Chain A
Amino acid sequence: MLVLPLLVVVLFSFGERGAAGGYVPAFTLDNYANLAARWTAFQNTILLAPLGTVLCLLIAYPLAYYLAIKADPRWRTILLILVIVPFWTSILIRSYAWIQILGGNGLPRLIAEFGFGRPRLINTPFAVMVGIVYGYLPLMVFPIYVALEKIDRRLLEASADLGSPPWRTFVQITLPLSLAGVATGSMLVFILLMGEFLIPQILGGGKVFFVGNALVDLFLQSRNWPFGAAVAATLVMVMLVIVTLYLRAMKRLSGGRDDVAMM
């Protein structure tokens, strides 16, 4: 069940496009030879997916830390619900809300009121990044929150009792013990980002082009299924390589413990 669709993709990628589009059985490597035609899309994705993941992580970690360790337990549940609430509506609708906020009559007008000129925000890579961080933040917050929550508080107390300043306790105890959550969250966000197409389409004004957008166009507009399949298969391969390297790196970082990488 899981492998079958992938097999179809691989099979299609060796075929030829029919005269009116679609798929005609054949065996050719032309589609793979032609991959350079989508090089910009790959470049954008390989650049923006890690960047988006890192930005998500930088914002999510302090948030999760606050929720798990600093927040008043009475408020914790409410705060956690607030993080999930946006997930109850479709990302499409939430992205349209960002169109209003980043559009000329939103933030730029406010900025102009303060006399700082009127910057163009919507339909820029910046807007796409805002949408990505906003959309994927909960996916990063939760694994980190769970990891932090599981930490035995007595370890932190012991560290303080033995004279460690707070930053040292954080670097030596909290951070290593929450690494599993960081690894899971980053992987989740990164993999989904590699296939993202909706946010660049809506907040990038169709000008910021990811591999996901190239795929949508190849299947839904030009109907070049074999080439689309070759692009998709290549994306899967690229992801496999990156994820393998990432898992190895995480394993080395955590001193050979499997649980961190595999959580």
Chain B
Amino acid sequence: MTDRRATATEKHFLQKLESYRKGSLSRRDFLAQTGLGLATAVMAGTMPGLARRAWAQGSIGDRVVIATWPNYHAPESLEAFRAATGATVDVNVFGSNEEMLAKLQAGGASWDVVVATNYTISTYVDQAIIEELDLSRIPNFDPSAFEARFADPGVINGKTYAIPRNIGTTGYCVNTSELDSATPTTWKEFWDLSRDQLSGRTMVHDYQLTAIGNALKYYGYSFNSVDPKELADAERLLIETKPHLFAINSDYQPSMRSGDAAMSMCWTGDAVQLQRDIPEIAYVLGKEGGELWSDFFTIPASAPHRDAAYALINFLLAPEMAAQEARFHGYPTGDSRVDALLPDEMRSSPILYPAADILNALEFGAAITLTNPVRAEIMARFKSA
């Protein structure tokens, strides 16, 4: 009898440990449910050394909430942060910057760290949504390790509001085994193939910036255009192409993998992940140009756990940790210290590090596109057509 009970408790403990490890149980609940918390408290009370350590761990709190993108953080990095600081990382994933901004504007989003793309930073600062960063609390950030064009959007009027986290491009992936012709090289071919050979097999992002921007590229206009005539051309192309599309969705990996889709607008990291498993999938940056972007760590003015936010940013910016993250998500970091730590096949990948002439044709998204009502309406008409 006694024996069986002992085993049951052990099993219960292991189950709880497992749920805790997977993140479905918070640290506090884990300690409470297993009785470890009480045990630790008793021990800490009798051992002065332990007590001080427990206090040091508790100083940043037991929780930090990050708003970020899908497939963007290696679970082991967040686990390592928890092990080092005692703070569990809650990850909230979003599909677009617009959605993050909507939640921040509505208030009540209690996030500590927000991963935002370059073109949103100035709006966030204007709206007093994010605050200037105290760089002394992020010693792992070394501005000299970054190319100016990737770090600059984070600095406004000489004040640093955002720290670069990753850089990337928006091109398209195409399964070359489905093509009769050579691998395409332009956005013009993307839209023409969509309506011809790959009709019914192409995906476009559910995202105004890239869907409209890359349609503008068909005509050679700027990716960021808000000119009414140019936008009207892009809208006509989008609506003409729509009946031929497989889907309007930014989650294109499953459909590319299953073979339902043969071509899709695509970000660097997704291309790396797709190509890893399906080598025939090529990543194309249109010769006409397109989007180059960098993502940033920011801290909202409303952050409830500011200390933990600084600790997390600093932790993830340590070159070894950032390299581990890069190996996971497949985006370059823009940080030369991290590049040096990446394996050769990543460093020599044209997807991660495109040739300079292709890269220089790309444009950073402009702040105006985030708030431009005409672009928003075009997207709505495209989706409802």
Which A residues fall within an 8 A CB radius of B?
17, 19-22, 37-38, 40-41, 44, 99, 103-105, 120, 122-123, 205-207, 209, 213-214, 217-224
Which residue in A104, A205, A221 is a CB contact (below 8 Å) of B376? A221
With the chains together, A220 CA to B206 CA distance in Å? Answer: 12
Report how many A-B pairs have Cβ atoms within 8 Å.
88
Q: List 27 A-B contacts (CB under 8 A).
A: A17-B373, A20-B105, A20-B371, A21-B102, A22-B105, A22-B106, A37-B381, A103-B258, A103-B260, A104-B258, A205-B246, A205-B249, A206-B206, A206-B249, A207-B245, A207-B247, A207-B248, A209-B384, A214-B380, A217-B380, A219-B102, A220-B98, A221-B96, A222-B98, A222-B373, A222-B380, A223-B98
Q: A104-B259, A206-B206 are in contact. Are A41 and B384 (CB under 8 A)?
A: yes
**CB-defined contacts of A38 to chain B, threshold 8 Å:** 380, 384
Contact string, B208-228, partner A, CB cutoff 8 A, digits 1/0? Answer: 100000000000000000000
Contact A221 B379 (CB under 8 A): yes
**CB-defined contacts of A21 to chain B, threshold 8 Å:** 101-102, 105, 371
Contact A40 B247 (CB under 8 A): no
With the chains together, A220 CA to B104 CA distance in Å? Answer: 11
- Does B345 reach chain A (CB closer than 8 Å)? no
- Does B136 reach chain A (CB closer than 8 Å)? no
- Those 7 A-B pairs whose CB atoms lie nearest each other, nearest first: A205-B247, A222-B376, A206-B248, A209-B384, A40-B384, A104-B260, A221-B98
Which residue in B102, B126, B248 is a CB contact (below 8 Å) of A205? B248
Contact B99 A224 (CB under 8 A): no
Which B residues fall within an 8 A CB radius of A?
96, 98-99, 101-103, 105-106, 123, 126-127, 200, 206, 208, 242, 245-249, 254-255, 258-260, 370-371, 373, 376-377, 379-381, 383-385
Least CB separation from A211: chain B residue: B384
Q: A20-B127, A104-B260, A205-B249 are in contact. Are A223 and B383 (CB under 8 A)?
A: no
Interface class of chain A by DSSP: loop
CB distance from A158 to the nearest CB of B (A): 55
With the chains together, A40 CA to B373 CA distance in Å? Answer: 19
Interface class of chain B by DSSP: helix
Contact A20 B247 (CB under 8 A): no
**CB-defined contacts of A104 to chain B, threshold 8 Å:** 258-260
Beyond the given A20-B371, A209-B384, please list 5 additional residue pairs across the A-B interface where CB-CB is below 8 A. A37-B377, A120-B200, A221-B99, A222-B380, A223-B101
With the chains together, A247 CA to B380 CA distance in Å? Answer: 34
With the chains together, A122 CA to B123 CA distance in Å? Answer: 38
With the chains together, A41 CA to B384 CA distance in Å? Answer: 6
CB distance from B270 to the nearest CB of A (A): 17
Contact B385 A221 (CB under 8 A): no
**CB-defined contacts of B260 to chain A, threshold 8 Å:** 103-105, 122
Contact A19 B242 (CB under 8 A): no
**CB-defined contacts of B245 to chain A, threshold 8 Å:** 205, 207
**CB-defined contacts of B385 to chain A, threshold 8 Å:** 40
With the chains together, A44 CA to B256 CA distance in Å? Answer: 28
Q: A205-B247, A223-B105 are in contact. Are A217 and B383 (CB under 8 A)?
A: yes
Q: Which of A213, A214, A217 has the most CB of B within 10 A?
A: A217
Contact B247 A220 (CB under 8 A): no
Q: A37-B380, A104-B258, A206-B383 are in contact. Are A220 and B102 (CB under 8 A)?
A: yes
With the chains together, A19 CA to B376 CA distance in Å? Answer: 13
Least CB separation from A108: chain B residue: B260
CB distance from B197 to the nearest CB of A (A): 16
With the chains together, A250 CA to B249 CA distance in Å? Answer: 41
Contact B258 A105 (CB under 8 A): yes
With the chains together, A222 CA to B98 CA distance in Å? Answer: 7
Least CB separation from A100: chain B residue: B258
With the chains together, A22 CA to B377 CA distance in Å? Answer: 15
CB distance from B258 to the nearest CB of A (A): 6
Contact B373 A217 (CB under 8 A): no
Q: A105-B259, A122-B260, A224-B373 are in contact. Are A20 and B123 (CB under 8 A)?
A: yes
With the chains together, A207 CA to B249 CA distance in Å? Answer: 9
With the chains together, A93 CA to B72 CA distance in Å? Answer: 22
**CB-defined contacts of A40 to chain B, threshold 8 Å:** 384-385
With the chains together, A99 CA to B98 CA distance in Å? Answer: 26
**CB-defined contacts of B258 to chain A, threshold 8 Å:** 103-105
With the chains together, A99 CA to B126 CA distance in Å? Answer: 42
With the chains together, A219 CA to B101 CA distance in Å? Answer: 10
**CB-defined contacts of B98 to chain A, threshold 8 Å:** 220-223
With the chains together, A21 CA to B370 CA distance in Å? Answer: 9
CB distance from B97 to the nearest CB of A (A): 10
With the chains together, A224 CA to B206 CA distance in Å? Answer: 17
With the chains together, A123 CA to B247 CA distance in Å? Answer: 7
CB distance from B125 to the nearest CB of A (A): 11
CB distance from A208 to the nearest CB of B (A): 9
Contact B247 A221 (CB under 8 A): no
CB distance from B344 to the nearest CB of A (A): 35
**CB-defined contacts of A37 to chain B, threshold 8 Å:** 377, 380-381
**CB-defined contacts of A41 to chain B, threshold 8 Å:** 384
CB distance from B104 to the nearest CB of A (A): 10
CB distance from A33 to the nearest CB of B (A): 14
CB distance from A67 to the nearest CB of B (A): 36
